[in-house]
Amino acid sequence: MPRSFRLPRRRSGEDGVKAVLAGAASAAAAEVEASLGVPPDPTAAAFFDVDNTMIRGASIYFFGKGMAGRGLITTRDLLRFGWQQLAFRVRGVEDLAAVAEARDKALGLVAGKSVEDIVAYGEEIYDELMERRIWSGTRALAQQHLDAGQRVFLVTATPVELARIIAKRLGLTGALGTVSEIEDGRYTGRLVGEPLHGPAKAEAVRALAEREGLDLARCTAYSDSSNDVPMLEAVGHAVAVNPDASLRETARARGWVVRDFRTGRKAAKIGIPTAAGIGALTGGVLGGMALHRRHAGHDHFRQVASAVRSVRVPAPPPGYALRAVRVPPPPAGAPAR
C-alpha cells in the first residue's frame, strides 16, 4: 500500500516571501538541456545539494581560491575563505554566518564584472580544482537516476552560473542556484531574493516541479545538511548523504535512507586533519601569492601575517576535544631508531 504524501506548509512573513522569490528566480534561471527531449520518466526527478554532498568541501571556496590564483581577490580574502573551508571540513556543519559572509564577499567580487568573463573563469576553475573532488558515490547515485530516464538537478546556494558549469560537466540535466542581478551583461552586486539556502531550496524545487510537470511525490532529494530538511521534506524520497549529526538523527527518526561516502571519519574528530588543513591552506595561500607576486611591490610575508591576525578562527564543534594517542612500545629486540 503506497504511503500517504503531503507537502509541508510554506513559511509565512518576510523571510518566507524572500525564500519564495529566491526559489522562483532560481527555477526561472534553470536551463534544461534541450538535447534531452522528453525523458522516458517525465514526472520523476532527483535533486542534489552540492557542497559536501556532490563535492568534498565548499564550491564557493574553490572558486575563491581559483580567483586568488589569478590575482582577482586578495590574500586576506583567500585566508578567510580558507578558514571557512577548514571549519566546514572538520565540523561537517554549515556556519550560517560564514555562508552570509561568503555570499557578501562573492557579490563584492563580481560587482561590475562581465557575466561572460566570470563564467569563463568558473569553467577553468572547475577543471583545475573541483573535478577531482567530486564524490564518486554521489555521482553514481545521480547516474542511476539518469539511467532510469529521470532528470537530475543540482540545488545549491552557489551562484547559478557556477552551478550550471558543475551540472554540465557531470552530464546532469540542469541546476538551481543563487541568482544575482544582472544589467547590461554585468553583475550589479545584488541578489534576486536571497541566497538559495534552506527553505529557499524547497521553494525552487516546487517552482521547477510546477514548470516541468514533475510529481514531487515521485521525486528524490539528496543532502548532507540539516539546513536542507525543507527540501528533503518537499519530495517523496529523501536521502541523507554524508550527513551532519543533526541530519543523521532526523533521517533515523523519519526512516530516510543514509549514504555516507566519507572515510576516516573518526580521525577527523581528533584534530589531526586540522593541522594538515592548516598546512594545506598555508601552502595554497603562498602558491596563490606566487602567481601574482610579480604584480605587486610590497612584502608578501608581512601581508600574510597581517591577514592571519585578522581571520576569525572557527569555534570547535560541541564535544570536540583532542585525544591522546597511545603509541605502543617497539617489539623486543627491535633496533633503536
CB 298 within 8 A of CB 74: no
DSSP 191: E
**Three cell numbers written together for 150:** 529521470
Catalytic residues, by residue number, are: 49, 51
CA 84 to chain centroid: 12
Q: What is the largest CA-CA distance in the chain?
A: 77
**Three cell numbers written together for 330:** 617497539
CA 282 to chain centroid: 22
Distance CA 177, CA 154 (A): 8
**Three cell numbers written together for 244:** 551532519
CB 36 within 8 A of CB 209: no
Distance CA 242, CA 224 (A): 5
